[in-house]
Amino acid sequence: MITPYLKNVCVGGEIGRRLEMALRRLLREDEFPIRKGFTATPYTLEYLLADLLWLPSNGSPCGHWAADESGRYINVLSLLLPYAGSLYPEKLKNEIQQRLERAVNGVLPLQRPEGYFGKEREEGKIYRDHTSGHNWLLRGLVEYYKISRSEKALSAAKKLADYYIKTHSLWTTAEAMKDIEEGEGKAAYVYSNYTHCIDGLVNLWQATKEERYLELAKKIGKLVKTFEHAVHSHHFLSTLRGIINLYIATGDKFYLDRVEKEWEEISKKGTLPTGGVPEHYLSWTSDEGCSEADWAMINLYLWTMTQKTKYIETAEKVILNHLFWNQCANGGFSCNYGGGDFRLGRMGNHIPGKRNEAYWCCSMHCCFGLSEIARHIFTYDENTVWINLFNDLSSEFRMGDEEVKLEIETLYPLKGFLKLEIESRNSFELKIRKPQWLDRENVNIQVNGKPDKVNLEDGYMTVSKKGRRLKVEMNFPLQVRVESPEISPFIYGKSDFIHNSGKKLILYGPSILRPVEKVEDSEIIIVPENPEFRVENGLLHINLFGVKTEPDIEKKEKWHRIIFEPISQETFNPMDMTVYLHKAGVRS
C-alpha cells in the first residue's frame, strides 16, 4: 500500500485548516512570560539554541533537553518545505526555507569532536534528557539532508550516530535500564529516552545505506521495554514509531508483531475514553499533544501495513477528538494542565478560557503529526484506492502506468455527506471506509447518479471503477448517541474504576460532545430522538436537555436546554473545563 507524496495532494477541509494554522504558529515569534523576570520567545534562533548553549534565560521552561527543540523544529520544517501550494500557501515557502536554514546553520557549529552537541558531557555518564533531545536532532538533520542534499548536515548526522554506536554499552547496564529515574522533576527521565533514537537511526540508514546504523537500530530494538514499563507515553510511542520504521527497513515480522502486541496492551490498559492517551502512566491527570500525535500516527501506519479496521477506526477517534482538542487558537498545541482529571472525564486550562500552549514540544510535534495524517486521507496500490479519512482533497497521482485524478468533497464530521470524483483510464476498486458506529443500511450511495448497493467487507464499501470517470455520492445520518466507554482498572485504580464505571459519552457521529456551560455532576442529561442543531461559521451546536432529579425526566416542563458541541471545538472556543463523561444516567 502506498501513501501519496504530498506534493501531489492539495488538502483542504479541517485537516488542511488545522495544519496551516500549526505551521503559521511555528513561523511566529510570540513572547511568553515564564516566571518573574524571565520570558521566552519561540522560535527565535536564540531560543532554539538555548538548550545547547546552556542559556536557560533564553530558552523554554524545559531547557535542559539538549537539541530537543532545535531538532523538532528542523524535523517538521524539513518535512513541510516541499509542499508549498498543497498543504499551505506558496508564499510561505521562502519564510520556511529561511528559518530552516537559519536553524541548521546555527546548530551545526555546536557539534563537539565526540559527535554530540552542546554542553560537555562527563565520559561514562548517561544523560537521559540530552540523549532524548539529540534523538530529535538526528532525525531532523536526516530529514533536512533529504530535501537539501547538504553534505554538512549528513556528516553531522553520521557523526552523532557514530557517537551512539560508541556509547551504546552505557545503555545496557541495570542503572541505565531502570524504568524511571528517581528524584523531583524526573517524571520523563525514562529508558525510552534512549530507545526512541531508533527512528533517526533507520532514517540515516535509508539515506546512507551504511549498515552500522541499521545494526545499532536492531540492537536497540531488542532492548525496548513493554507497555507495563512504559511510564512516559510520548517517549514510548516514539519508540514504537521507530520499531515500525525498523520493520519497513528489514521486513522482519518480529518488529511488526511487537508493535501489534503493544497496541493490544495500550488499547486495553492505556487509552482514555477520548481515544487518546495520558502523558504519564503513573499519573492520569495530564495529557500531552505529542503523545496524541504519536498514537494517531502509529494507528495510521499499522493500518497501511495490515488493513485491520481497528487501526483506522482508532486513528479517526483520536484525531477528531483528543488531538484536535489539544490545538490552541494560535495554531499551537497544548496539554490538560488546568486541574482536569481524565478519571473524572475532565480536561482543563491553567488560565480560565485560555489554552496553555506547550510550544517547547507539542506545537512542533503535532504539526509533524498533522502532515502524516494528511498523507493517509487516501492510500492506494496498483488495483485499489482506499478512502480512509473523510476530508476535502484533490490529487493527481500515478497508479501503475496511468494518471489518476481524485477529488474528495465532504461536510464530515458536521454532516454525513461525501462526494468523490475520479478520472483515469485504468480500472480498479474504490474502497470507502464505513465508520464503525454507522449502520450499513443507513448509508445511501449513488454511483454515477444512480443508487447502488455496494459490497461491505472489512469495514470498507467497494465500488468498481470501469469507465474513464467515476462519481460517487454518499449520504448518511449523523445521530446523537450514548456510549458506555471501556474504562480500564489499570488506569483508574479499583475504587475510581467502580466510581466511574457508570459514566457515559455523548457523541454526534464520530465526535465526542461537551456542554458549553457548566453542568453539575448530578445533572441527568436527556438526549431527545431528533435533537435540534445548528452549524454556524463551521461550528456545531446541539440542543440537549437536563433535569435535576429522576422523577423530572417524565415532566417535560422541568427540562432545561443545555447546548453541547464537539470537544474538538476547544480550539475555537476555549473553556475553563471540558467535561466529556456524564455520570448521572444519560437518557434518550
Q: What pLDDT, in 10s, does the model give residues 381-413?
A: 999 999 999 999 999 999 988 999 999 999 999
Q: Where are the domains of the chain?
A: 127-268, 480-579
Neighbour-count burial for 165-197, b at 16+ CB within 10 Å, e otherwise: eebeebbeeeebeeebbeeeeebbbbbbbbbbb
Q: Are strands 9-11 and 505-508 parallel, antiparallel or unpaired?
A: unpaired
- Range with the lowest mean pLDDT among 10-19, 104-113, 314-323, 328-337? 328-337
Q: How many CA atoms lie within 13 A of 153 on its CB side?
A: 27
What burial class does residue 77 get, using C-beta atoms within 10 Å of its C-beta: 0-12 exposed, 13-18 middle, 19+ buried? buried
Beta-sheet pairing, 455-457 with 460-465: antiparallel
Question: How far is the C-alpha of 85 from the C-alpha of 99, rounded, in Å?
Answer: 18
Task: Give the bridge partners for 394, in sequence order.
Answer: 10, 407
Q: Please enumerate in sequence order all residues whose Cβ is within 8 A of that of 498, keeping only pairs 6 or more positions apart, or say none.
A: none
Burial 271-305 (b: 16+ CB within 10 A, else e): bbbbbbbbbbbeebbbbbbbbbbbbbbbbbbbbbb
**What is the arithmetic mean of pLDDT over 55-75?**
82
Residue 121 has pLDDT above 70, yes or no: yes
Angstrom distance (rounded) from CA 514 to CA 522:
15
Pairing label, strands 460-465, 480-483:
unpaired
What is the average pLDDT score of the chain? 90
CA triple 199-200-205, angle to 5 deg: 105
Identify the three-state secondary structure at position 46.
helix
The architecture (CATH level 2) of 127-268 comes to: Alpha/alpha barrel (1.50)
Q: What span, in angstroms and rounded, lies between the C-alpha atoms of 569 and 548?
A: 27
pLDDT band at residue 36 under the 50/70/90 scheme: low
Question: What percentage of the chain has pLDDT greater than the value 70?
Answer: 93
Burial (CB < 10 A; 0-12, 13-18, 19+), residue 17, is middle
Q: Residue 257 has which C-alpha cell? A: 508483531
Looking at residue 587, the DSSP 8-state letter turns out to be B
DSSP state of 523: P
Query: How far is 141 from 48, CA to CA, in rounded Å?
Result: 14
Nearest-angstrom CA–CA distance, 318 and 310: 12
Torsions phi, psi for 281 (to 5 deg): -90, 10
Looking at per-residue pLDDT, the higher value among 216 and 524 belongs to: 216
What band does 465 get if pLDDT is binned at 50, 70 and 90?
confident
The C-alpha atoms of residue 279 and residue 347 are separated, in whole angstroms, by 13
Query: Alpha-carbon distance 202 to 250, whole Å?
Result: 10
Which residue from 195, 373, 375 is spatially nearest to 293, judged by alpha carbons?
A: 373
Kindly report, residue by residue over 148-164, the tens digit of the pLDDT.
999 999 999 999 999 99
Record the cell numbers describing residue 12, joined without a space.
Answer: 483542504
How many angstroms separate the CA atoms of 295 and 508, rounded? 23
Q: How many CB atoms lie within 10 A of CB 390?
A: 27
Q: How far is CA 256 from CA 199, 220, 241, 246, 261, in A?
A: 14, 15, 11, 9, 9
Task: Give the percent of the chain with pLDDT over 90.
Answer: 67
Contact indicator for 279, 270 with CB cutoff of 8 Å: no
Return d(Cα 213, Cα 199) in angstroms, integer.
11
Contact criterion met (CB below 8 Å) for 40 and 59? yes
Task: Determine the pLDDT at residue 338.
Answer: 63
Question: 135 pairs with which residues across the strands?
Answer: none
**pLDDT reported for residue 226:** 94
Which three three-digit cell numbers place residue 514? 461537551
Q: How far apart are CA 89 and CA 19, in angstroms?
A: 11
pLDDT of residue 498: 45
CB 472 within 8 A of CB 420: yes
Q: What is the DSSP letter of 517?
A: S
The one-letter amino acid at 220: I
What confidence category does residue 53 fall into, taking pLDDT thresholds of 50, 70 and 90?
A: confident
- Give the bridge partners for 480, in sequence order: 508
If DSSP states are collapsed to H, E and C, what string results for 454-499?
Answer: CEEECCEEEEEECCCEEEEEEECCCCEEEECCCCCHHHHHHHHHHH
pLDDT bucket at 247, cuts 50 / 70 / 90: very high
